[in-house]
Structure 1
Amino acid sequence: MTESIPDPAENHTLPDGRVISGLNAETTKIVWHEVSESIYLTDLQHLRAGDTVIDIGAHLGLSSLFVSDRVPGVRVIACEPARATYACLARNFADHLPGGIAVNKAVADRPGTAEFTFYPADETMATLQEDEGDDQRNIEAVLTNLGVDAAEQAAYWENFRAEVERYTVPVTTVAELIAEHGVETVDLLKIDVERSELAVLAGVGDENWPRIRNIAVEVHDVDDGLARAVDLLKDKGFQVEYQQQEVFKGGSVYIVLARRD
């Protein structure tokens, strides 16, 4: 829910016929495919109407829409700091998930402001934590696994780096979101924030960990990030598993799932 919704950049049609606001037709198509095949969204039998989902790094809101399709009546709070992407998220919620709450903020370990990096060529890689080496590694891994030749990979990388926008964004924490929205239980905490995932987890707050039932977090295994995330979640009482999807083989990206009994 927002006071004003900027005009979306483009309209794209999903396979189910819904018209979605997005920034790039190919990116929207890829993200919807990833959401539909996601290892943490295809098994939602433990969610039910009235449960709360907090979507950190919500992008266009496709994960939120998918969850609400599968489990009608869930409450969704979705955070997206990128200005252009948030405009699309807000429009998509207004059109397809009017009860959803769209928040134009980044999420980290403490509230305030931070410099944000946005890539118009691929808005899904926008981040609070720039790491050109990790970005290049993951782009090369994905394109190689998709069968893209070296020349096309080089062209994609140059295009990706050609336009970069940096600006200051407001930052909140999971603890603040829980308090501001009166959340009693977080039934699914989904995190996809391009190397800021440990900061997001650090901002949960000791008193809030018992409120969280399920976590699905994309982790970049940089500086032992995977081991640190797994150890943290186990210490908080979760059963934890992780895997790397085929498209990311050779890259740093893993999906970590954490559940309570």
Structure 2
Amino acid sequence: MTGSRTIVPRRLRLPDGRQVWCTRPAEALLMWREISSDGFYRRGVRQLRPGGVVLDIGANVGLVSVALAAENPGIRIIAAEPVPDTFECLRGNLEQHVPGGVAVRTAVAATAGTQQLTYYPDAPGNSGLYADRQADDALTRTFMRNGGMDDEQIDLLIEGLHEGQTIEVPVTTVSGLLRRHGVERVALLKVDVERAELDVLRGVEAADWARIDAVVAEVHDEQGRLAEFCGLLHAAGLSTETRQDPSLYGTELFEVYGDRS
């Protein structure tokens, strides 16, 4: 690890009263509001049934897993997160709020091994294998402007936000997770991996696609990535829909939902 510093986990009370571990409370609250809005994550919640398996890829501190388990008692969640600081929060949140939830400290990509990841301590949700400080600053700037902030406020908040540390992380594939945890069928594959979305899909072996019922993902539409991502889902037999939250107008961030309906 280069340029590392210690981050102390903190307790955060969510709007519904539950307490969770996180490293950046303001970011965690933004994530919770996104999960709670009427987007594609909500559609994923509604289609789950007891006994269904969810793969939470790019779990961060596990707020999606917490929300899914709260509304769907009896589901099984396997959550993957590679960054040590956020993984410790994920593990604590699963232990407290997700009965039987399994936390796996790993990135998920096209092939297994190890890779270099850029970790942003002050913006952990933007960390990733393909982090781009200039692009991440620009995206955050547009998001803040859409929220009504003026440029002077934005300049103050964004300064140093995406100063990164390089860490080496273990990497597995979706198919590797299925084998390791004895998963026969995936009710929902959730993907939020900051520009590594295609890598995740490419790590699904051809024979395993028929075992995946639905996918919900955040996709960075750079260099045609959104069309390619949807094309891979179509090739696997899933129909797709895309949307962009109003708070993200003017950015390359889109949500994708695909299923076999």
TM-score (norm 2): 0.94
Aligned to 1:42, the other structure's residue is in SS state helix
Unaligned runs of 5+ in 2: 1-6
**2: CA distance, partners of 1:95 / 1:235:** 38
Aligned to 1:4: none
- Write the deviation string for residues 195-254 of structure 1: whole angstroms up to 9, x where unpaired: 000000000110100000000011001111011111111111111110111111000100
Cα deviation, residue 64, structure 1: 0.6
Alignment correspondent of 1:204:
204
Letter matched to residue 60 of structure 2: H
What residue is the counterpart of 2:3 in the other structure?
none
Contact 1:47/1:187 (<8 A) preserved: yes
Alpha-carbon distance, 1:57 to partner: 0.5
Distance, in Å, in 1 between the alignment partners of 2:244 and 2:183 is 31
CA–CA distance in structure 2, aligned partners of residues 45 and 154 of structure 1: 39
The amino acid across from 2:53 in the alignment is T
| 1:34-45 alignment runs, 5 A limit | 34-37=34-37, 39-43=39-43, 44-45=45-46
**Equivalence for 1:147:** 148
Q: Which amino acid aligns with 1:122?
A: A
Contact 1:59–1:85 (Cα < 8 Å) also in 2: yes
> What's 2:179 paired with?
179
Residue aligning to 1:100: 101
3-state SS in 2 of match to 1:144: helix
Query: TM-score of the superposition, structure 1-length normalised?
Result: 0.94
Shift of 1:130: 2.1
Give the corresponding residue for 2:241: 241
Letter in 1 for 2:68: V
- Once the two structures are superposed, the pairs formed by residues 4-83 of structure 1 within 5 Å of their partners are 9-37=9-37, 39-43=39-43, 44-83=45-84
What is the deviation of 1:38? 5.0
Distance 1:193 1:149 in 2: 29
The CA deviation at 1:157 is 2.6
Gaps of 5+ in 1: 1-6
Number of paired residues? 254
Shift of 1:151: 1.5
Report the CA distance between 1:41 and its aligned residue. Answer: 2.6
Tell me the amino acid that sits aligned with residue 114 of structure 1: Q
Contact 1:137 1:252 in 2 (8 A): no
Amino acid at match of 1:92: N
Q: Structure 1: how far apart are the matches of 2:181 and 2:221?
A: 32
Q: Which amino acid aligns with 1:64?
A: S
* 2:42 aligned counterpart, secondary structure: coil
**CA–CA distance in 2 between the matches of 1:28 and 1:46?**
25
Q: Could you tell me which amino acid in structure 2 is paired with residue 184 of structure 1?
A: E
Please identify runs of 4+ aligned residues in structure 1 that moved more than 6 A: none
Whether the 8 Å CA contact 1:134–1:252 is kept in 2: the answer is no
Aligned residues with identical type, % of pairs: 37
How far apart, CA to CA, are the structure 2 residues paired with 1:53 and 1:234?
Answer: 20
Q: Which residue of the partner structure matches residue 166 of structure 1?
A: 166
Cα RMSD between the aligned structures?
1.4
1:31 Cα deviation from its structure 2 partner: 1.0
The answer to whether structure 1 residue 191 and structure 2 residue 191 are counterparts is yes
Q: Deviations over 1:138-195 (max 9, x none)?
A: 112201100111112222232213x321110000000100111111111000000000
Q: CA deviation at 1:39?
A: 1.4
Task: Note closer, same or farther for the CA distance 1:45–1:25 as it changes in structure 2 (3 Å cut).
Answer: closer
Aligned twin of 1:136? 137
- Residues in 2 aligned to 1:202 and 1:74: alpha-carbon distance in whole angstroms: 26
